[in-house]
Structure 1
Amino acid sequence: MAVGYLIGSIGMLVWRLLELPEATGRRADALRLGVILPMVALVAWNTIHVSEWQSSVRLAVGMPPVEGAHAIRTLLIAVAIFAALLVTGRAIGLMFDWLRARLVPFMPRRVANLAGGLIAAAILLVVTRDGIVNAAFGAVDRSLARAAHFFEPDGPPPSDPRASGGPGSLIDWGEMGAQGRDFVLRGPVQAEIAAFTGRQATAPLRIYVGLEAAQTPEDRAAIAVAEMERVGAFDRANLIVAMPTGTGWLDPGSHGPVEYLLDGDVATVAVQYSYLTSPLALVFETERGLDQSLALMRAVTERWDQMPEDARPRLYLHGLSLGAWSSMYAVDLFQLVNNPIDGALWAGPPFPSDLWRRATARRDPDSPYVLPRVGNGRLVRFADQRTRIAPGGWGRMRIVFLQYASDPIVFYEPAAAWRRPQWMREPPAFDVSDELSWMPVVTMLQLALDMALATDVAPGYGHNYVAEDYIPAWAAVLGLDWPRSEIARLQAHCGSDRSPGCRPPAGGAFVDAGSRL
């Protein structure tokens, strides 16, 4: 409603700037009535059908239908928000009028209008993004940093000298933050892995450097590599460089299963770059994750390159959400040609991810946009909840994008404001409502709001990725030809209460995306 009103207001402004004739008297009243009556009819139509439409979306992502009062509640919320935005817009308009009135005595009216508009826009930009908002999130960031020192850790540091924060560790237990301490402590232990596989297992290594460990990305990356040297990470058969989400969270649904798949013979290293949730970090700390990922990747690969090729570990990259975007940013395609890594698993890649966009653009035209097929599948393959990736046909590197068709963080498009996205020109996936249709401007706003709510859905939909879907994707990346029955057994194990190291803690599946602290 507010955006539609804004578009109409801009149209009227342009009309008046061009000094075109305006209707008056009864003709003006008739025009207003010709706009208001269809608008009222449209609102009534939407109110009648909104519960049906919303229920179709919810049922597609494993949620119950809406309650009977949903339509009225939605309409009241919309009217309240419209009123608040209208008042804000009028206030901005009054500021513009005041500015141009002060400029008119010194310049022609049209120049004063243009200058007043530019000054008002500059004031808004400084006061919002570079002023109030930036200061507010800076204060939040600093307060969370202080809180990391103020509050005692939930438990004592690990007693294992090979654990980050344990005896002899180069990383302070208190500086790791809650997300880092949770990552280090929650994974499956050696005995659990051996009991499940029936084979001899190794204790997995998890190295985590918190944001408070050092001031610069390069210094934090250096601490990570030094810690890896200390615990013998480069002596493992497999090495995973993982980038966390904005708050520093790493999904146990991914890291627990991969340690089962590799019999524990794996070291995972991660470095925190922010305290903000991923959507906020993406907007207000865009460069932090990219800089940290690049610094960590360079530091690790420099040490890895020094090792004899037949003695160094297999190297994999991993990230979820903003972590996937940051991880992809650190990939140097020219370096990979001469010295390729072994593979990567990127889950829920945000729509700005350049490597994902390029891979999607190379899709076979006969394949769905939400689940592309790229070439002969030797390098890149895509997977969703139902995909079974064939074990054969891979090349030297194996890259898998795990994405759900119902994930708006992956499939949001700003261009949806004026054109239908490609995925909406095709039959909808099983987890997308058949009722979803494209409307100029409206669809783009719907998708933008969906991004903010992308994890408030059942596990296995939206941006809520689960262990059961990570497992076959990891098996493909690692080149493991496990029988389908064993994959299913591990999925059942990681989806149950018997393996808490494969599941997020109670209270939220994806603890990064919401405002939970």
Structure 2
Amino acid sequence: MSYVALALGLAFFAASLTPSLIPRAWPLQGALAGLVMALGYMIGRFCVSLWRGMQFPEARGRRALWLHGLLVGAALALLVFCLAMAAHWQNSVRIRVGMDPEDGATVLGVLAIGLAIFAVLFLIGSGFQLAFDAVRVRLYRVMAPRAANLLGLVIVLGIVFVASRDWVLPSAIDFLDESYETAQDLFETAPPAPDDSFIAGGPGSLVDWAAMGQPGRNFVTGAPSADDIARFTGRPAQRPIRVYVGRSQDDDPHERARIALAELQRLGAFDRRILLVASPTGTGWLDPGAHDTLEFMQDGDVATVAVQYSFLQSPLALIFETTTGLEQASATMEEIYRYWRTLPEDSRPQLYMHGISLGAWSSMYSFNVFQMLDEPVAGALWTGPPFPSDIWRRTVAARNPGSPYVLPEVDQGEVARFSSQFVTPQEQGDAWGRIRIVFLQHASDPIVFFEPGSVFREPEWMREEPAPDVSPDLRFVPVVTQFQLALDMALSKALPAGYGHNYLAHEYIDAWVAISNPPDWSQEQTEALKAICNLGKDTGCKMP
């Protein structure tokens, strides 16, 4: 046991108790604390080994005992303080996102779980140390000690890497992919196909109903009726067109895109006022609030198309199937945009793009700037854009001097604007250009604001005044903050609707009004639509 490393591990444990974007239940907090304590201990051991390897002087005897006692004592004092503050810090997050505060009675549970996980990880690390020692001792017989140490480390790490890459990781991905595919009720477990030829998957459809999956079937059958839309607007309305092609339809993303285009043509989608190319999340889910709202305000004169690319949850798809969503979105957009350009400009629909979460990233990726310079799409709404999204990152980087990172302003807002549950696009006025883009995001959404470089560097948004849904006690701690935000991403939908990665139907309304400029629309209709969308909560908009 290295007391210097132990002191650093205890300091990491204490720092993990500070707040981040998402409140953590005590079992998860204990798990996080144990993990970062082990990480801190490992970093400490590395630093001690490096110090000794450089042959720097070390404290001995009583001096060493006094120094080690001082370091561990200071770390324990810090830990006691942070444990006492833990409930307050977590409640500072909970209160700001509409959750009830909790008492501090779970501190002992956090401590017990954290220390238990540290002990397990310590034993695993000791096992690696034993394997390394066994390899390097044998190598001492044939080479110099320094070379044997280096080669022994490479061999052990190589074995672990190959085993993880070739056995553990593929097995985990296959298991997850199969489990989510099974949960989507495909083929023999699918419900009967509809007998309505106007629904994708029904009679005469080019889309296989059984291959569509539960998210797709919910989407194509969940559109508001023409009667409901007409009752709301007081004007004649059409039945919205929705097309969805499932991941199991075909193995080729280009073929799935061609089927989607053919189905749009079959249903007369190119005769509509609005054509929306939507990219779903990893599981294939599409937020009904994003689509119901547009269909209500556009008198149902909307056709929407989406093509599934994965069965995994978005965080897993982001890690394990990074390119599949990008390839599918690009193939879909390329197929539809190419055909759309062949139509007469004065009679073809206005073309829009939309995506939420991983769908926002893939939708942005499919936005071919050079292709669209001459004939751009009319606009795009990208919700909860993940942090790797290139267009989002470049737009944030182009913000006006003094404009905040969380809700930046770019020029006069002619092309791109940012909105949240607290700020609408309309607050920048009516001076839109030829194309209208809105990024809808919450300051408490770690999918948006995770920063890969935050191991040793404070993210820009942490240097600003916190948004209303972010704790004022949030502070940057090297290494620890990275793991806090990583856990936040996994918990991003654990907050009430309207916070984190949960976007409400009524939040889309101001964005769609700004982007699609619906005819004969008033602020009173905006408020009325918000009222019926509040009735539906996160399930869309329902007429009473």
- TM category, shorter: over 0.9
Residue aligning to 2:387:
351
CA contact (8 A) 2:396 2:405 kept: yes
- Give the Cα–Cα distance (whole angstroms) in 2 for the partners of residues 240 and 150 of structure 1: 28
Say if 1:184 and 1:65 are closer, same or farther in 2 by CA, change over 3 A: same
Task: Tell me, yes or no, if structure 1 residue 305 matches structure 2 residue 341.
Answer: yes
Residue aligning to 2:407:
371
Residue aligning to 1:152:
189
Residue aligning to 1:108:
144
CA contact (8 A) 2:504 2:538 kept: no
Please give the secondary structure, in 1, of the residue aligned with 2:189. coil
Deviates more, 1:376-385 or 1:407-416: 407-416
- Give the Cα–Cα distance (whole angstroms) in 2 for the partners of residues 341 and 169 of structure 1: 27
Residue aligning to 1:272:
308
Deviates more, 1:136-145 or 1:287-296: 136-145
Task: Tell me, yes or no, if structure 1 residue 55 matches structure 2 residue 94.
Answer: no
**Shift of residue 230 of structure 1?**
1.1
Q: Out of 443, 447, 456, which is 1:409 matched to?
A: 447
Q: Between the two proteins, what is the percent identity of the paired residues?
A: 50
Residue aligning to 1:515:
none
Q: Which runs of 5+ in 2 are unaligned?
A: 1-36
Task: Tell me, yes or no, if structure 1 residue 37 matches structure 2 residue 73.
Answer: yes
Say if 1:431 and 1:129 are closer, same or farther in 2 by CA, change over 3 A: farther
- Give the Cα–Cα distance (whole angstroms) in 2 for the partners of residues 130 and 320 of structure 1: 32
- Show CA shifts across 1:336-362 (max 9, x none): 211101000000001111100000001
Residue aligning to 1:467:
505
- Give the Cα–Cα distance (whole angstroms) in 1 for the partners of residues 392 and 262 of structure 2: 32
CA contact (8 A) 1:186 1:500 kept: no
Q: What is the one-letter code of the residue matched to 2:526?
A: I
Deviates more, 1:10-19 or 1:424-433: 10-19
CA contact (8 A) 2:410 2:417 kept: yes
Q: Out of 108, 112, 115, which is 1:72 matched to?
A: 108
- Give the Cα–Cα distance (whole angstroms) in 2 for the partners of residues 204 and 234 of structure 1: 12
- Give the Cα–Cα distance (whole angstroms) in 2 for the partners of residues 116 and 151 of structure 1: 52
Residue aligning to 2:255:
219
Say if 1:119 and 1:113 are closer, same or farther in 2 by CA, change over 3 A: same
**Shift of residue 130 of structure 1?**
4.4
1:153-168 equivalence runs, <5 A: 153=190, 155-168=191-204
CA contact (8 A) 1:145 1:212 kept: no
CA contact (8 A) 1:246 1:275 kept: yes
Residue aligning to 1:438:
476
**Shift of residue 499 of structure 1?**
10
Say if 1:145 and 1:35 are closer, same or farther in 2 by CA, change over 3 A: same
CA contact (8 A) 2:289 2:539 kept: no
Q: Out of 346, 351, 359, which is 1:315 matched to?
A: 351
- Show CA shifts across 1:167-191 (max 9, x none): 1111111110111111111221111
Residue aligning to 2:64:
28
Task: Tell me, yes or no, if structure 1 residue 139 matches structure 2 residue 175.
Answer: yes
Q: Out of 465, 474, 482, which is 1:427 matched to?
A: 465
Residue aligning to 1:95:
131
Q: Out of 484, 489, 492, which is 2:528 matched to?
A: 489
**Shift of residue 463 of structure 1?**
0.6
Residue aligning to 2:14:
none
Please give the secondary structure, in 2, of the residue aligned with 1:344. strand
1:370-389 equivalence runs, <5 A: 370-389=406-425
Deviates more, 1:131-140 or 1:50-59: 131-140
Q: What is the one-letter code of the residue matched to 1:296?
A: T
TM-score, with normalisation over the residues of structure 1? 0.93
What root-mean-square deviation, in Å, do the aligned CA atoms of Structure 1 and Structure 2 show? Answer: 1.8
**Shift of residue 424 of structure 1?**
1.3
Deviates more, 1:72-81 or 1:32-41: 72-81
1:128-207 equivalence runs, <5 A: 128-145=164-181, 148-149=185-186, 152-153=189-190, 155-207=191-243
CA contact (8 A) 1:364 1:372 kept: yes
Q: Which runs of 5+ in 1 are unaligned?
A: 504-517
Say if 1:35 and 1:499 are closer, same or farther in 2 by CA, change over 3 A: closer
Please give the secondary structure, in 2, of the residue aligned with 1:464. coil
**Shift of residue 22 of structure 1?**
3.2
CA contact (8 A) 1:243 1:323 kept: yes
Q: What is the one-letter code of the residue matched to 2:307?
A: V
- Give the Cα–Cα distance (whole angstroms) in 2 for the partners of residues 187 and 501 of structure 1: 9
TM-score, with normalisation over the residues of structure 2? 0.89
- Give the Cα–Cα distance (whole angstroms) in 2 for the partners of residues 364 and 455 of structure 1: 31
Say if 1:102 and 1:190 are closer, same or farther in 2 by CA, change over 3 A: farther
Say if 1:502 and 1:127 are closer, same or farther in 2 by CA, change over 3 A: farther
- Show CA shifts across 1:256-313 (max 9, x none): 1111111111111111111110001011110111111111111111111111111211
Deviates more, 1:101-110 or 1:50-59: 101-110
Q: What is the one-letter code of the residue matched to 2:530?
A: Q
CA contact (8 A) 1:51 1:66 kept: yes
- Give the Cα–Cα distance (whole angstroms) in 1 for the partners of residues 105 and 157 of structure 2: 40
- Give the Cα–Cα distance (whole angstroms) in 2 for the partners of residues 146 and 54 of structure 1: 37
CA contact (8 A) 1:254 1:502 kept: no
CA contact (8 A) 1:186 1:501 kept: no
